Structure 1
Amino acid sequence: MTALALKQVVREALAEVGVAFDFTRLPRGKARTTTWLGGQGFGIRHYPSGRNVYIVQARMAGRLRTVTIGPATVLSRHQATTVARRVIAYAQLGLDAAAERKRIRAAPGFADFLEEYWTRWSPRWKPSTLDTHNKYRRLYLDRAFPDRTIDGLDEADVANWFSDLNNRLGPGGANRVMTILSSMMNKAEAWGYRLENSNPCKAIRLNRKRKCDRFLSHAELQRVGAVLARVRACDEAVRPIAATAITLMLLTGCRAGEIMDLQWRDVRGNRLKLRDSKTGPRTVWLGDEARALIDGLPRYMRSPWLFWNRNYGRRLKAVDYYWTEFQAEAGLRRVRLHDLRHTFASHAAMSQETLPMIGRLLGHSEIQSTARYAHLDDAHLLDAAEQIGAAIERMLG
């Protein structure tokens, strides 16, 4: 690829960002300096006359070539960065402008690539992940970019789509759909439909995640424990089963879905063999209390499930509904079922269990995942401060 071809790439890329002007030959002198921006061969060159010009350097056929993008008085930094990325990508692949136009014409439309991506990649997903992604695809991806090819999708397209998605779906869901789209763009690069390092989703800032550090204190655990014990002992068809399931979540730290999906074949002595957890199949170890809860469940020959709604003849699903009732009876407010998992981890930490041990019990693959669950309440922090202060005072004599 020649320097002349690179200049043609610059002209076409500038046209795409809405800039068109004639380049004048810039004066060359020993006193000029360059400030590099981003460390990718993109920078701004300063001349003694006070003129500042964006440039990009790319290595071609073993030679380092410098190409002028345009004056800083005409181009914004964002526009210049967009052009620089295109030039570097072209130089790395050794493409010329004509070949690139031919490649773009051959690129599939977004809808066609979405179907290809789903066909080739979705078999790797867990069943629960596939169900969720299918819903997101149907509602937010199938008609997202009807007039765009997968190669022509740029940052502006994605930014406008993500803004609209936030209004329709909310911050957490929008982040998840954006993650799917970003994975699609990565595969488009890997499968030869897009230039390398051209994923437009990388420039979009995701919504800030809401910190959820709610866990039950000792007093709250006592209140909710009394409610759950009373309900488990009552003579009803469904509520005792729901109370047992929720108590088992508290005793094991399992997610709600992991407990509600349990079948009798998953119970192996003092262990549960989870077939489909968030991190894949894993083992959950049962204490005596948890094992006693399972042994006390009524078993129906027609059902493989531990938690069975005999009123409707199917697996119990509406456990969130019952948890809302139970926490209200215990005088609790705004406690999610997932906060019971936080409670398990936090009280394990307060019992001086190590983070690696807690992580194994929760099924985490990374210690960072465990650290955000393991909270300490004020009483334990006060005790720790007093112990440390007393130790230092002894050392001070």
Structure 2
Amino acid sequence: MTSHDLKSILAEEMARVIPGEDGKRRSKFDYLLPGFGERIHPSGRKSYVLQRTMGGKQRLITIGDAAILSERIAKDVARRLILRIELGQNPADTKQRGKRTPTYAAFLQSYWELVEPTWKPSTREIHGIYRRTHLDHAFAGKFLDEISHADAVRWHAGLTRSAGPGAANRAMEILKAMFGKAEAWGYLPEHSNPFRDVKRNRGRKIERFLSGEEMARLGRELLSHRDEKPLEVAAISLLALTGCRRGEILNLTWGQVQGRKLKLSDSKTGPRIVWLGFEARAVLDFLPRGRKDERVFAFDVQPASALDWFWRKLRSEADLRDVRLHDLRHNYASLAARSSETLPMIGSLLGHSDIRSTARYLHLCDQELLRQATVVGQKLESVIEGE
């Protein structure tokens, strides 16, 4: 008999199915990690368990739902529990703790199921991407109360290096809110949120405004592509003429286009009205109108990808290589500021919910006031000298 045959026989023997006390639940145990197994419930649901003989009694500790935890993570948790038992920790306390404090993965799933329905559709979409990309396996195998401030700092620093400062900040805010709920719901003691004092990466305050000559170049390039790329040209034109965010334009439906206004139901700050100038309305009139529930910009591929690709090509042709698509929003605000619009009015045009978000354009308002004051001063001086 070869070692391979012996291993197969041992596997079949150790990975046996044992009926539960009620004759319905079954447990299948692993031969490589003694005591670790999978419990199969009558409903078909599966959970990972750890069975140990402690204090003369056989105990079964539930690790977590197999639909949430991978086998690798569940085994990591089992090894941690075995180590605690071998170090002499009270088995009853360990079992109670396992019931009282969920694993990170289990709580993330529960939190998502409870909170996700309260988010806006755009928030659900973005948070879902962050969860799949950065959160699901962030603290594999750890119980919620095992995650320390140092763990949070190291995770944030690592994510900053791999995904960038902005993505790390956004992902951290999601977890900060989640651990806040863990406190509020009694899973963690008050003031124990490990993300509370983690410093955010400093954002780059890039304010790139276009000169008149640059805007003219951009306009000429847009016009040259209108027949070839009508949707891309129309979308970018609307961004420049309304100051809207990219998502607000790409998710726009024809039912939200109402005369000289856009009635947005899902913007970053909630529902809002965007008023259209004659030029912006003319851009929409150039497109064939669809049904109310149809998107204005129905691209054949992912809308964001189509627009980003065209923008990179367009800004290269217009010699605007350092201009981001979002800078068109800043440029719209700067034009409003230099036209002597008040900060509250600029905030209303941009859909800001907090005047502090609009305050970045204060210096442009000041420049215009200074220019007007200079003009008034020169007129007064000419009057005085003429007397």
Higher RCO (CA-CA < 8 Å; seq separation 6+): 1
Correspondence list, 1:236-255, <5 A:
236=228, 239-255=229-245
Deviation for aligned residue 1:276 = 1.6
Deviation for aligned residue 1:317 = 5.3
Match for residue 24 of structure 1?
none
Q: Residue deviations 1:207-242, cap 9 Å, x none?
A: 11111111212221122122223333xx43xx1321
CA distance in 2 between counterparts of 1:346 and 1:173 reads 27
Match for residue 33 of structure 1?
none
Correspondence list, 1:1-397, <5 A:
104=97, 106-232=100-226, 235-236=227-228, 239-299=229-289, 304-309=294-299, 312=300, 318-373=306-361, 376=364, 383=371, 386-387=374-375
Q: Secondary structure at the match of 2:205?
A: coil
Question: Could you state the TM-score of these two structures normalised by the residue count of structure 1?
Answer: 0.66
CA distance in 2 between counterparts of 1:287 and 1:330 reads 25
Greater shift after overlay, 103-112 or 249-258? 103-112
Q: Secondary structure at the match of 1:322?
A: helix
CA distance in 2 between counterparts of 1:146 and 1:109 reads 9
Change (3 A) 1:374 1:139: same
CA distance in 1 between counterparts of 2:172 and 2:150 reads 14
- Aligned residue identity for 2:190: E
Q: Is the 8 A contact 2:254 2:293 kept in 1?
A: no
CA distance in 1 between counterparts of 2:323 and 2:123 reads 25
Change (3 A) 1:290 1:377: same
Q: Secondary structure at the match of 1:318?
A: helix
Deviation for aligned residue 1:243 = 1.1
Deviation for aligned residue 1:336 = 1.0
CA distance in 2 between counterparts of 1:117 and 1:302 reads 35
Give the unaligned 5+ runs of structure 1: 1-99
Change (3 A) 1:301 1:199: closer
Q: Is the 8 A contact 2:256 2:262 kept in 1?
A: yes
CA distance in 1 between counterparts of 2:344 and 2:365 reads 20
CA distance in 1 between counterparts of 2:112 and 2:369 reads 49
Deviation for aligned residue 1:156 = 1.6
Change (3 A) 1:199 1:390: farther
CA distance in 1 between counterparts of 2:340 and 2:126 reads 37
Q: Secondary structure at the match of 1:333?
A: coil
Give the unaligned 5+ runs of structure 2: 1-92
CA distance in 2 between counterparts of 1:250 and 1:192 reads 48
Deviation for aligned residue 1:244 = 1.7
Deviation for aligned residue 1:277 = 1.1
Q: Is the 8 A contact 2:255 2:291 kept in 1?
A: no
CA distance in 1 between counterparts of 2:344 and 2:293 reads 37
Change (3 A) 1:207 1:231: same
Q: Is the 8 A contact 1:266 1:272 kept in 2?
A: yes
Deviation for aligned residue 1:201 = 0.9
Q: Residue deviations 1:296-346, cap 9 Å, x none?
A: 21346799232244xx49968511211222222222122111100000000
When the two structures are aligned, how many residues end up with a matched partner? 291
CA distance in 1 between counterparts of 2:142 and 2:242 reads 49
- Aligned residue identity for 1:340: L
CA distance in 2 between counterparts of 1:308 and 1:131 reads 18
Deviation for aligned residue 1:128 = 2.0
Deviation for aligned residue 1:147 = 3.3
Q: Is the 8 A contact 2:352 2:358 kept in 1?
A: yes
- Aligned residue identity for 1:304: E
Q: Is the 8 A contact 1:253 1:341 kept in 2?
A: yes
CA distance in 2 between counterparts of 1:314 and 1:213 reads 28
Q: Is the 8 A contact 1:217 1:377 kept in 2?
A: no
Question: Could you state the TM-score of these two structures normalised by the residue count of structure 2?
Answer: 0.67
Q: Residue deviations 1:143-198, cap 9 Å, x none?
A: 22223221232112212222222222111101111111111110011000111112
Change (3 A) 1:201 1:315: closer
Change (3 A) 1:102 1:390: farther
